[in-house]
Amino acid sequence: MVIGKNDDHEEELLSLKELIENSRKIVIKIGSNTLSTDKGEVNLHAMHNIVDQLVEWMKGGKEIIIVSSGAGICGVGAINKWFRRKDMNYKQALCAIGQVELMMAYKELFKEYDYHVGQLLLTRDDFNDHSRNLHIRNTLFTLVDEGVVPIVNENDTVSVDEIKIGDNDTLGALTANLWGADLLIVLSDIDGVYDKNPKEHPDAKIIRQVTDIDELKRSISTAGTNRFGTGGVVTKIEAARRVNEFGIHMALLNGKKEDILRKAADGREEGTVFYG
């Protein structure tokens, strides 16, 4: 199913395979669902698989920035308590512990391939301040130019929003815009955007191509949240709007699937593409 008229896209829309092929600068947002097992534990196997594919892309000349969720889950895994605590200070404490675990996991995984990682913890305010903006940009460019993989996350300790709405989709979009990416890839636990929540409606139909986000929002239902009570598909659609405005494409793909990036790059898997 295609949503949106083809006015601004007179020529044929590129396939996901072609988009990936043409994109040099790619931001990958990895959601909590992708990084965790069904039991809510950190899924090191999935992380390894994603890192392995990203390294392949980097060796092929692509530049990569990762925006990663998962600090909360890693925190629970590390300390094995507080997971039922609803109080904000405990959630933030868990993220403070888990962020270290998360970065340690990335560091070890990338080290296998002789890559270094760098951590950037950002808040929404950082993007609204001109001078901070400049410094973030310069740091990102320097890391990427030097072949280091930047890993961005929201600074959970100071930003309440992240825990409330799991807004790393927006963080991914802001990062893509700031860096001037060609493509934002959002990895979640669904094959793309459907006309209704596929977890609740087995007959839901997938939407492959979107060129009009308002029309998309009018035509689908987005009810239902995940077990972490975070963003859901709406923040992903709004992230697409943010990057599309700057001419950056976004693809929503199923990060739960082994080799998803490899398969998308050679046309064996699709997702939902939002054209910028």
Which residues contact ligand ADP (rule: CB under 6 A)? 31-34, 166, 188-190, 193-194, 196-199, 220-222, 224, 226, 230-233
Give the number of other Cβ atoms within 10 Å of residue 201's Cβ.
Answer: 14
Min dist. Cβ of residue 134 to ligand ADP (A): 29
Helix and strand numbers (H, E) in the chain are: 12, 11
Pick the closest to residue 148 from 110, 112, 109, 93 (CA basis).
110
Min dist. Cβ of residue 104 to ligand ADP (A): 21
Smaller CB separation from ligand ADP, 194 or 274: 194
Min dist. Cβ of residue 198 to ligand ADP (A): 6
Smaller CB separation from ligand ADP, 181 or 220: 220
Smaller CB separation from ligand ADP, 118 or 231: 231
In 85-232, alpha helices (H): 88-111, 124-128, 130-145, 160-165, 168-179, 213-219
Smaller CB separation from ligand ADP, 143 or 198: 198
Say whether 211 sits in a helix, a strand or coil.
Answer: coil
Q: Which amino acid is at 107?
A: K
Smaller CB separation from ligand ADP, 63 or 156: 156
Taking the alpha carbons of 43, 45, 50, 51 in that order, is the dihedral positive or negative?
positive
Tokens representing residue 92 in the block:
């933030």
Min dist. Cβ of residue 59 to ligand ADP (A): 27
Name the residue with the smallest CB distance to ligand ADP.
Answer: 31
Radius of gyration from C-alpha coordinates of the chain: 18
Min dist. Cβ of residue 141 to ligand ADP (A): 27
